[in-house]
Structure 1
Amino acid sequence: RCRAEDRSVSLDADSGLQCADYVQAWYYDKHIGACSPFWYGGCAGNANRFNTENECFQTCGAQSDCFLRQDAGGCQNYTMMWYFDTEQNECSRFWYGGCGGNENRFKTQEECENLCLTRSRISQFIISQSAALFLDESIKWICLDGVQPHCRLFQRRFRRKRFEASFPL
């Protein structure tokens, strides 16, 4: 989690002013307790802005157990479990040793997806005049309110479809 003395992370994402090409930046989203991407215009903005997702996570961490690394634990009483893989942005199986480990461990794929897919990283997004469509390789969101989006998870059948970003002028 972000340091308590760092009040900048309570600020919303601020795309600033366009003085160069838009670039993807990251901010700590207090509403979901994780780092999320946004388009930065190159000038102004606020202090809740990081150049990379990793920089954001190192500074702020994540409130969700889903972002913990996979940990098999220290024992040898192995059973098949599920964890959220932040690299693949999906739930994957692993052999859990039966003791220790961390909270990024689920009995079923459904349990993992129900918690972690709604909190997972969003790697690309499009902003249009009336709606924003967020997507990555495994999930899609349609957001009708650009200020505080209320998003609906789409079916995963759209996997690996990519779009180019467009911006309102």
Structure 2
Amino acid sequence: MVHCRKGSCNLAQLGSQYPGWKLRSNLTSITNMYAFLISALLLVSSAYSAEKADCFGAKEAGNSNCGQAGAKVFYFHKSTRTCQPFFYQGCDGNGNRFSSKSECESTCKNAQAAGDMTQSLCASGAYPAGATSGKDVSCSNCPHGYECQGEQCCPTKEFTCGLQYDAGRFGSSGKHTPRYFYSKAFKNCMLFTFYGRDGNPNNFATYNECKNFCM
């Protein structure tokens, strides 16, 4: 039996003399450890909830102020409804940011904005300025051949229908779609293949949209 003067025994001596006390001490340590882990998980969860996935937020590269490493991620481009890559600097930004293209697509494929999705296109059915290149262009900076309609820069009839068709280039999804353009030479709307990014405004989803706008 261990005999100790007041305050002179260490934990190892007490544990060898009272194994039940040692077991209770170990259980207390394990309980404290789990409590710490649960608290940490709740903290992470609350931080994640504060920045919910936002499929219709603007692309934001963030900054490097917090010291976290940057990485290639994906955002949902609302006008073309495709997931496009960009470089995230590691801090801040918004919820339109996904670690992979598949995560972006599974989250945003069927997402609907608070307003009508058709508002992302111009009344003619053409893409507004910057839509197919992933850039946001405000009405105060409409480029040549565009005019402000609502809150976006839309191409004028004279500018749009006088352009040669442009097939653009592949986006990250690697998909192409049939579209229509107006041909001044043939005075009619004709079919072409659009590869998903860039291109120009002489680009319509249907023959009738092209005809109604240019003819």
TM-score range normalised by the length of the shorter chain: 0.3 to 0.5
Bigger RCO of structures 1 and 2 (CA < 8 A, at least 6 apart): 1
Q: Tell me the TM-score normalized by structure 2.
A: 0.29
More strand, by proportion: 1
Which of the two has higher C-alpha Rg? 2
Structure with greater helix share of residues = 2
